[in-house]
Amino acid sequence: MAATIQEIGLDRLPDYAAIPIAFEVAAMLRVELVDGGLGGMRLREMRVAPAYTKNYDAYEGCGPTRWPERFDTRHWGLFLALEGDRPVGGATVAFDTPGLRMLSDRDDLAALWDLRVRPDFHRQGIGTALFDHAAAWARVRGCAQLKIETQNVNVPACRFYAKQGCTLGLIDRYGYAGHPQVGHETMLIWYLDLVEGGVHDER
């Protein structure tokens, strides 16, 4: 049975949160500066040994059930992928949220806040279906771009977003410097253009 995608309210966040988001870090993208950065940056994949598990929900206050306490979620889109009645994936889009730094004070930008699929349902197209649904939701609301944040230790996510047509817009080597648990990670910001021609003026 193919998974169906359903928009949900905040009352379903416990179901959403029950979908694991933890993953194994067995590789990372090391940032290499060219000519001290004047010649740009290269991302080179390297093995991580020993491998370890990263779980976004394990950081204090970061799980889905805590979002309404921390943010104004009135204009967020929350979606579950269901196989029958069983939640097997989820996606959340943040939009029109004053004070949310990731939205850069733009009214034409949405952020893919979260995307997760149960490990036993990986590689079945559920992540792609959720991503496409999230992008369509943002496009209907007049957004020109969808913004996604990930890290250099999440190589599968980086490859996934590149496959969806996203482009890497920012490599921030010090993006997590104020957070000791993840201070060694590099912030990677991806963008998906939702309108033809994107938002750049080429003049």
**23-33 pLDDT tens trace:** 999 999 999 99
Nearest one of 13, 10, 192, 186 to 116, comparing CA atoms: 13
Would 115 be classed as within a structural domain? yes
**31-64 pLDDT tens trace:** 999 999 999 999 999 999 999 999 999 987 789 9
Would 202 be classed as within a structural domain? no
Would 201 be classed as within a structural domain? no
Looking at the structure of the chain, the number of domains it has is 1
**72-128 pLDDT tens trace:** 999 999 999 999 999 999 999 999 999 999 999 999 999 999 999 999 999 999 999
Q: What is the pLDDT of residue 199?
A: 65
Q: What is the pLDDT of residue 25?
A: 97
**Is residue 197 over pLDDT 90?**
no
Nearest one of 119, 126, 166 to 6, comparing CA atoms: 126
Would 110 be classed as within a structural domain? yes
User: What distance in Å separates the CA atoms of residue 60 and residue 57, rounded to the nearest whole number?
Assistant: 8
User: What distance in Å separates the CA atoms of residue 111 and residue 148, rounded to the nearest whole number?
Assistant: 6
CATH number reported for the structural domain that contains residue 24 in this entry: 3.40.630.30
Say what the alpha-carbon torsion angle 157, 159, 162, 164 is, to the nearest 10 degrees.
-70
Nearest one of 151, 156, 149 to 181, comparing CA atoms: 151
Q: What is the pLDDT of residue 62?
A: 87
- Measured on CA atoms in the order 136, 137, 141, 143, is the torsion positive or negative? negative
Would 33 be classed as within a structural domain? yes
Q: What is the pLDDT of residue 7?
A: 97
**Is residue 202 over pLDDT 60?**
no
End-to-end CA distance of the chain: 50
**168-182 pLDDT tens trace:** 999 999 999 988 889
Would 198 be classed as within a structural domain? no
Residue 179 belongs to domain spanning: 4-193
Would 203 be classed as within a structural domain? no
Q: What is the pLDDT of residue 80?
A: 98
Q: What is the pLDDT of residue 2?
A: 76
Contact 23, 133 (CB under 8 A): no
Would 199 be classed as within a structural domain? no
**128-160 pLDDT tens trace:** 999 999 999 999 999 999 999 999 999 999 999
